[in-house]
Amino acid sequence: MEILDTLLHRRSIRSFTGGGIPRETVEALLVAGMSGPAGKGKKPWRFVVVEDSETISRLAQARDPKQKLFDTASLVIAVFGDPSIADTWVEDCSVAMTNMHLAADALGLGSCWVQVRMRTTADGTPSGDYVSRILDAPEGLSLEAMLVVGNICEHPAPHTAADIDMSLVSWESF
């Protein structure tokens, strides 16, 4: 699929059929994640791929309310940034998240971004701290977000160019 078609075709998918995803496909997602631009090329991102269903169920509790989409997911990719490497770590990790999310769609998989920064668990623990403890994250890394990935049940209708709100754009000045 051409890149512009993929951009319109991509949707957030929150319900999956279950089953695993081949290792080479997961690696293709990671290649996509790490091939994007990063501030000064510093690449402050770190990735943890979680396929263990028990760990995935614990990750589902990272947010309040619990995010149901984890229930049928095949895997979760947690994207951490190292603020000591680059002050653009949030942007860099967001680029990686977006690239993986798009690549998942292009590979026929479903995926959804789950926000972690600025979010808490049901008992008020910062979501990033909760996930970092589960994944044994080294001191100094901050969790940006998680990409929940699975085999698609049903792909929602793609976006179309006609859906895009061009009234949000001004030319030359506001």
Ligand X SMILES: Cc1cc2nc3c(=O)[nH]c(=O)nc-3n(C[C@H](O)[C@H](O)[C@H](O)COP(=O)(O)O)c2cc1C
* Smallest distance, ligand X to C-beta of residue 133, A: 19
In the complex, minimum distance from the CB of residue 84 to ligand X, in angstroms, rounded to a whole number: 23
Question: Alpha carbon of 37 to those of 34, 40, 80, 99, 125: distances in Å?
Answer: 8, 9, 16, 10, 32
**CA-to-CA dists, residue 14 to 87, 94, 127, 132, 147, angstroms:** 31, 19, 19, 23, 11
- Of 6, 12, 55, 120, the one binding ligand X (CB under 6 A) is 12
Beta strands in the chain (DSSP E): 45-50, 75-81, 109-115, 142-151
**Which region, judged by CB under 6 A, interacts with ligand X, from 6-14, 21-29, 71-79, 162-170?**
6-14
Q: Which is nearer to ligand X, 48 or 114 (CB)?
A: 114
**CB closer to ligand X, 40 vs 68:** 68
Residue 56 CB partners (closer than 8 Å, separation 6+): 50, 70, 73, 75, 76
**Residue of 7, 8, 9, 11 that binds ligand X (CB under 6 A):** 11
- Using rule CB under 6 A, residue 100 touches ligand X: no
List the x/- string, 113-142, binding to ligand X by CB under 6 A.
xxx---------------------------
With beta carbons less than 8 A apart as the criterion, state whether 70 and 134 touch.
no
Residues binding ligand X (CB under 6 A): 11-12, 14, 112-115
